[in-house]
Structure 1
């Protein structure tokens, strides 16, 4: 059986590293683990040594077109196609109310959280077309839900607005690429550097956000990926934002 070929951005830590770890334990996989500085990603190199020929750390900088295209050339040399691309790289580095949010923070969050997945798709689509059932997954967030996230008294303007925008991108991809399975996923409130920063920086998040483990989140994400890949055909309805536990998050 031909291996399933994955590309995961932001794979050097947190959810991305958890996904590489979980998927590498499977038979018949090739995983390209994207990181801004792969030479210093010791955990990825340890996995590459543990699973020779299955895990390939590669340089991949979110929203850098040249970097994305160079990474895809490397994937093409080794595997010749992609089956599943997971746009996982993202930032949440500022929490503040509307009047306190600098315009540069809005730009920074859109640059990584929206342009990053867009450029990743544009770069990987030529190789995804070689897959019998291409999947493009976006690690989004329930913070991008206008119904739920926007009404919370938290300082998630920059982060939440960028995730709402990437949710729009997910549905737009589904509408324009009829052979593509698009999977926007909310990973839950995960105990990563980002999750811990949110709890330490925002009073509402500190009081109300109960963090889950990376393993719990990744286990749910992998199940969603497996279900999308195992479906007989692409769903006729547009994708919904799905929580790691399978619950639908309203737009």
Structure 2
């Protein structure tokens, strides 16, 4: 794998990196010369991912645990001595279903994982390295954060909050640290399998670009946003959806994807 971007000597911390988008992002950074510190809940999956990545260290655990995020930051600093990039990819899509049936405690967990954890990790990276040396943050959001859809109210609402947090941090941490979001459409990850596994090929070709997304599509966007090629960009949300929002003008012959307005990162 080759990369058009140069990250030699830099260090990236990526959450939810044992599979799917997180792993693709970590692989992209390694291909571009960076060293990576990765985390995920699945210890075995993370061990396999770390071995596959090569120049990487990993720490298994949940981003919902504040102590885990502190240890993750300490690991990156102890092993590599710096943190140039943070990618907040880990997420939960629970509770799934109508909000009138949602357990308020499960609702709170969605915000703990999808909003609070990204803030905590950026705080740690800022205090450990970025305040003095600068850096870049990308939060993985979702194309569905700007409108409503069935069964994923907690996920969509928490990701909408993450979008606002992205803009708020961009304003507060400038000019030294750039903070942006990438909002995917429907991507073939395990976490989103319940959506794309039932989406037939006719529906997929109803998108202007003719296919569903792959993890590498999102990784490419993340690498671009964190590279010097995007050094005058902060506080933005980069939509990577295969043309979901313009398919009405595209006039597809097939029915639109059901639940296709949501990306569920492979945490």
* Alpha carbons 1:224, 1:244 under 8 Å: kept: no
Distance 1:201 1:96, change over 3 A: farther
What TM-score do the two structures reach when normalised by structure 2?
Answer: 0.75
1:13 pairs, out of 19, 38, 42, with 19
Separation in 2 of the partners of 1:2 and 1:219?
17
* Alpha carbons 1:63, 1:120 under 8 Å: kept: no
* Alpha carbons 1:192, 1:214 under 8 Å: kept: yes
Distance 1:101 1:80, change over 3 A: same
Are 1:34 and 2:35 counterparts? no
Distance 1:68 1:42, change over 3 A: closer
Residue segments in structure 2 that go unaligned for 5+ positions in a row: 1-6, 246-267
Distance 1:180 1:38, change over 3 A: same
Give the number of the structure with larger relative contact order, counting CA–CA contacts within 8 Å between residues 6 or more apart.
2
Distance 1:98 1:35, change over 3 A: closer
Partner of 1:194: 191
What TM-score do the two structures reach when normalised by structure 1?
Answer: 0.79
- Secondary structure, counterpart of 1:19 in structure 2: helix
* Alpha carbons 1:59, 1:71 under 8 Å: kept: no
Deviation at residue 91 of structure 1 after TM alignment: 1.1
- Secondary structure, counterpart of 2:57 in structure 1: strand
Distance 1:124 1:9, change over 3 A: same
Q: Deviations over 1:88-140 (max 9, x none)?
A: 10011343233233323311211111111111112221234267441011001
Q: Matches of residues 52-201 of structure 1 in structure 2 within 5 Å?
A: 54-129=55-130, 132-145=133-146, 149-150=147-148, 152=149, 154-178=150-174, 179-199=176-196
Separation in 2 of the partners of 1:94 and 1:191?
21
Residue segments in structure 1 that go unaligned for 5+ positions in a row: none
2:52 pairs, out of 35, 47, 50, with 47
Q: CA RMSD in A?
A: 2.9
Partner of 1:4: 10
- Secondary structure, counterpart of 2:110 in structure 1: helix
Distance 1:87 1:32, change over 3 A: same
Separation in 1 of the partners of 2:50 and 2:236?
35
Partner of 1:230: 229
